[in-house]
Amino acid sequence: MARKYVKGIKEVQNYINREGKQMNNEFSSTLINELRQVSREMQLGINQAAEGGVVPFSGNAMLTFFNKRATGVTVTMMVKDIQAQYLYGVLVEKENIDKFIPTSDAKLTKQKNITGLKSNLKSGKYKVVEHKGTKRIIDTRKKDDRVIAVKTPKTRKIIFDWYDNAERKINIVINGIRGEFSTRNNR
């Protein structure tokens, strides 16, 4: 490739402007692609941390988007709103929930959820009954061993520290790219 020589102030200004824009575009593209990869790694980490895997709803929780401006690029990584409500207690902070805990007679999915719970409650195959202040789900088709779940308070444990993992992975990306950065988390 032959060298191109730049002569005069006007040509130097044009060259610097053109090369500066190209470098800014390359920087922005690199940052966006690297952080998209971090987002995929975060989703994979959530998926692997859950015992028995995650349901499709939780397996598609990450959202990454960007905004390019003349002053730079803003990349946002987050857990989608609906999934964030559900996953908050296992990604950010322990929370107490009032939940139906399956008994040994319940048929479970690999994620440890009661198979067909919603559809069987709707169809009447399962029914919620209350006896002495305790709610239970019973299988109306069985005579013996009909209780398949009991409502009990339960503390969910953190399975994947979202903020810690995100901060660590983002810092690795930032340390590998030259430029000016500012980071922020919305805890």
**SS3 track for 144-186:** CCCEEEEEEEEEECCCCCHHHHHHHHHHHHHHHCCCCCCCCCC
pLDDT at 1 over 80: no
pLDDT at 182: 65
pLDDT at 9: 86
pLDDT at 70: 78
- Under a CB-based contact definition with an 8 Å cutoff, are residues 59 and 47 in contact? yes
Separation of alpha carbons 161 and 126, rounded Å? 36
All residues at 6 or more sequence positions from 113 whose CB lies less than 8 Å from its CB, including other chains: 55
The residue ranges of every structural domain in the chain are 8-92+158-176, 96-154
Name the residue with tokens 């009661």.
114
pLDDT at 101: 85
Quickly count: other Cβ atoms within 10 Å of residue 150's Cβ: 14
Mean pLDDT, the chain, whole residue set: 85
pLDDT bin (cut points 50, 70, 90) of residue 7 is confident
What dihedral do alpha carbons 144, 146, 148, 152 form, nearest 10°? Answer: -110
pLDDT at 2: 60
pLDDT at 34: 92
User: Phi and psi (nearest 5°) for 66?
Assistant: -140, 160
pLDDT at 163 over 70: yes
pLDDT at 56: 85
Name the residue with tokens 């994947």.
160
Q: Give the tens place of pLDDT for each residue, 11-59.
A: 888 888 888 788 888 888 888 999 999 999 999 999 999 887 888 888 8
pLDDT at 69: 84
pLDDT at 169: 92
- Pairing state between β 134-139 and 147-156: antiparallel
pLDDT bin (cut points 50, 70, 90) of residue 157 is confident
- Under a CB-based contact definition with an 8 Å cutoff, are residues 57 and 43 in contact? no
pLDDT bin (cut points 50, 70, 90) of residue 66 is very high
pLDDT at 96 over 80: no
